Amino acid sequence: MATTPAHAGSPLVLAIDAGTTGVTAIVFDLELRPVARAYAEFHQSFPSPGRVEHRAEDILAAVDDTVRRALDGAGGSPVAVGITNQRETLFAVSAATGKALAPGIVWQDRRTAARCAELREAGHSAEVTARTGLVIDPYFSATKAEWLIANDVSVRAAADAGDLRFLTVDGLIVHHLTRGERWVTDPTNASRTMLFDIDVRGYAPSLLDLFGVEEACLPEVVPSGGAFGEAHLPGAAGTVPIRGVLGDQQAALFGQGCFEPGAMKTTYGTGCFLLLNTGARRVSSRAGLLTTLAVDGRGEPCFALEGSAFAGGTVVQWLRDELGIIDDAADSEELARSVPDTGGVVLVPAFSGLGAPHWDPDARAALLGLTRGSSRAHVARAALEAIAHQCADLVEALRGDSGESVVQMLVDGGAARNDLLMQRQADFAALRVVRPGEVEATARGAAAMAAVGAGLLDAAGLVRALEAESRTFEPDVDGVAEERARWQDAIARVRTSSSSAS
């Protein structure tokens, strides 16, 4: 479990990365090198088509388990804690007991698609985008909260009794680790609720009214490098201050050292997320990207443009768990390399609809171009190329919005380890892909934020700590135009008339 021995007397920082399918706890030194780590998956529930749920107790049990094992491996206690998390997933919690009142609705869940269509048809899109930088889509938290109040008896009763709190996963973990002392979140997570005004930096009363959510039900918003309370960590003596909280994509941006306007990264996790730091300038997209909050090198809020593809690593999980054509996610590259191309097979992985730039919650996945000669290797290659095609769409949208050529992309996340995927990404997006030696940028960003928040690192020290060896993938655009045209044709085939893209 230990990857680098802890140096005697060197301060350690703990990062808790609560993703969509599991929790990773990593102990870092102040050079932001991993000292010890632990990982645990938790249960995913799919109660009906389009619905995805998590249980709060499963996430929190995974937090306790991984923290205990990581601290055991590090052989010492941290001086600060950073937390990063899947962002838009929402839990309804009892203020009195701190227990979840219902399963959490995951960011991939599409149950509120019809309600979002109603809101768009009623003319609310302009205000929502102006205040939040987002589009009206089931992806975000607001319609999840509205649905829980309207459809869950326990949540409705708690709301009537003044006992209801809504928490995203960061707030859930902070509340748990502080033993109920704090109900808090940070601006990067708040900016994904569709209830938060990113210019004013506070909850928008008009949107609270629109979605029927009382501000008293929402957590206090604390600066990303602020004081989030004292954590009672399994296996640690005393308490440890929580000094950094960031949504996962903003944490990855921070962990890649993208502090200046124009810096860009893409994270390949359960989904794929491209973020471009735009600094103090709020940029409004014309091509279906989102405007959101991130942080600069001092931990202060800044703006970013974001593109979200809902299916990233989940495509490879589908190959493994549902199709059974690979035994392990790492096998996908070897299988895909066994054929020179996809043989005309195209996978559109719209398992949870399409995100940016299409915003079509009703789109469904399709496997196209099959012939009698199509093999599982062709399907595996089509699956990896689908991930790269989606991210290339985001890059094209970014180029259209910014007017910049966009020649380089920093990458991180588990699927970024796949060399074939990274090469195809460079090819399809016609840019240089740079992958650091350590792809756990999300956890590294959380640790870095905690170190900055605790005063352990300044901006210069942070830049030095984030310098790392990297590998570069240069684009080969031969034949790419035809492949991209085949992809766009496949996208057109799965699109529906209910698309929320403008």
> Does residue 245 carry a pLDDT above 90?
yes
> Can you name the residues that pair with 94 across neighbouring β-strands?
164
Query: Could you tell me the CA-to-CA distances from 365 to 38, 297, 316, 369, 483 in Å, in that order?
Result: 33, 39, 14, 14, 18
State the pLDDT at residue 296: 86
In a domain, 21, yes or no: yes
Q: What is the mean pLDDT of residues 353-373?
A: 89
State how far the Cα of 97 lies from the Cα of 165, in Å rounded to an integer.
11
User: Does the residue 202 lie in any domain?
Assistant: yes
Q: Which two tokens stand for residue 268?
A: 């390949």
pTM (two decimals) = 0.85
Question: Does any domain span residue 99?
Answer: yes
Classify residue 363: in a domain, yes or no. Answer: no
Segment 115-132, tens digit of pLDDT: 999 999 999 999 999 999
Q: How far apart are CA 115 and CA 70, in angstroms?
A: 43
Q: Kindly indicate the confidence band of residue 241, based on its pLDDT and cuts at 50, 70 and 90.
A: very high
Do the beta carbons of residue 136 and residue 128 sit within 8 Å?
A: yes
For residue 475, whether the previous peptide bond is cis, meaning omega lies within 30 degrees of 0, is: no
Counted residue by residue, the chain has a size of 502
Residue 500 has pLDDT above 80, yes or no: no
Answer with the residue of higher pLDDT: 470 or 125. 125
Q: What is the pLDDT of residues 388-438, one digit of tens each?
A: 999 999 998 888 887 777 888 899 888 889 999 999 999 999 999 999 877
Q: What is the per-residue DSSP string for 38-81?
A: EEEE---B--STT--EE-HHHHHHHHHHHHHHHHHHHTS--SEE
Phi, psi dihedral angles at 362 (to 5 degrees): -95, -5
Quote the number of domains for the chain. Answer: 1
- Which one has a higher pLDDT value, 135 or 9? 135
Residue 67 in any domain: the answer is: yes
Q: Which of 284, 484, 501 is nearest to 400 (CA)?
A: 284
Is the pLDDT assigned to residue 7 strictly greater than 50?
no
CA 63 to chain centre: 17
Give me the percent of the chain exceeding a pLDDT of 90. 65
CATH number of domain containing 186: 3.30.420.40
User: Which has the minimum average pLDDT: 55-59, 167-171, 311-315, 379-383?
Assistant: 311-315
Choose the weakest-confidence range: 43-47, 160-164, 267-271, 494-498. 494-498
For the chain, the average pLDDT equals 90
The larger pLDDT score, comparing residue 259 to residue 339, is at: 339
**Tokens (6 digits) for 445:** 């960003």
Is residue 139 one of the residues assigned to a domain? yes
Distance CA 243, CA 13 (A): 10
pLDDT digits (tens, 9 = 90+) for 54-75: 999 999 999 999 999 999 999 8
CA triplet 301, 13, 454: central angle to 5 degrees? Answer: 45
User: Residue 502's pLDDT is what?
Assistant: 41
Question: What pLDDT score does 9 carry?
Answer: 63
The pLDDT-based confidence of 467 (bands split at 50, 70, 90) is confident
Give the pLDDT of residue 308.
85
- Is pLDDT at 353 greater than 80 in this prediction? yes
Residues 6+ apart with CB under 8 A from 103: 45, 53, 54, 55
Of 219 and 499, the structure prediction assigns the larger pLDDT to 219
pLDDT in tens, 256-311: 888 888 888 999 988 898 998 888 889 888 888 899 999 988 888 999 999 888 88
Q: Which two tokens stand for residue 42?
A: 């938790």
pLDDT at residue 6, as a whole number: 44
**CB 276, CB 269: distance < 8 Å:** no
- d(CA 173, CA 178) in angstroms, rounded, equals 8
Beta strands per DSSP E along 248-361: 264-268, 272-279, 290-295, 301-309, 346-348
Q: Is residue 94 part of a domain?
A: yes
Q: What are phi and psi of 322, to 5 degrees?
A: -95, -45
pLDDT band at 498 (very low <50, low <70, confident <90, very high): low
Q: What is the CA radius of gyration of the chain?
A: 21
Domain that holds residue 202: 12-245
Nearest CA-CA partner of 33 in 54, 53, 12, 48: 12
Asked whether residue 383 is domain-assigned, the answer is no
- pLDDT digit string (tens) for 381-398? 999 999 999 999 999 888
> To which residue do tokens 């009698």 refer?
372
- Residue 3 has a pLDDT of 44
